[in-house]
Copies of this chain bind each other. A is one copy, B any other.
Amino acid sequence: MKPLIISRAASRAGVSIETIRFYERKGLINQPPKPVSGYRTYPAETVCRIKFIRQAQELGFSLREIDELLALKAAPGTDCSDVRNRATAKLHEVDTKIEQLQGIRVALRELISVCPGRGALRACTIMESLASVEGDKEGQSSTTQKENTK
């Protein structure tokens, strides 16, 4: 049985070697001790852990969040509800993002449907509606420089 050196671990996990090193630097996975001479060998758990990370990424979790998830996994007293709550929070985030994008979609559709689609740019309603957003005369909520700059 060939030792699980980094290249094999990477191909098993479906990531690049660089990604493994990156995760090691980020503390998402442990770097195996370096033998006195030779290459590091990775335990099979590391491959699982990387797959876990990729799965969670596909669900929209950031590496930071995944790190927390993995910490929960390691903590002795973790309750299932902790994990479930995180999943629920993420679901809400995803919902919000979808709503925002749907708003964008509506705006884009509107823009496109109204645009004549040919002719000089003068007549382009898209450019117009992007450009003309007049009517707000600064200083509504900003009294000083500082507030705006903060």
Q: Which residues of chain A have a CB within 8 Å of any CB of chain B? A: 7-8, 10-12, 14, 16-18, 48, 51-52, 55-56, 58-60, 69, 72-73, 78-84, 87-88, 90-91, 94-95, 97-98, 101-102, 104-105, 107-109, 111-112, 115-121, 123-124, 126-127, 129-131, 133, 136-139, 142, 145, 148-150
Contact = CB atoms under 8 A, between A and B. Distances in A.
B149 A84 contact: no
Given A80-B124, A111-B87, A112-B88, A10 B119 contact: no
Given A120-B80, A142-B11, A97 B101 contact: yes
Contact of A60 (B51, B104, B120): B104
A145 B20 CA distance: 14
Given A11-B142, A91-B109, A121-B78, A60 B133 contact: no
Q: How many copies does the complex hold?
A: 2
Given A11-B139, A52-B131, A133-B55, A149 B80 contact: no
A interface secondary structure, majority:
helix
Given A51-B133, A52-B130, 19 more contacts: A11-B145, A11-B148, A16-B149, A17-B145, A52-B133, A58-B104, A59-B108, A60-B104, A78-B121, A80-B115, A80-B118, A81-B117, A83-B126, A87-B115, A88-B112, A90-B108, A95-B105, A98-B101, A98-B102
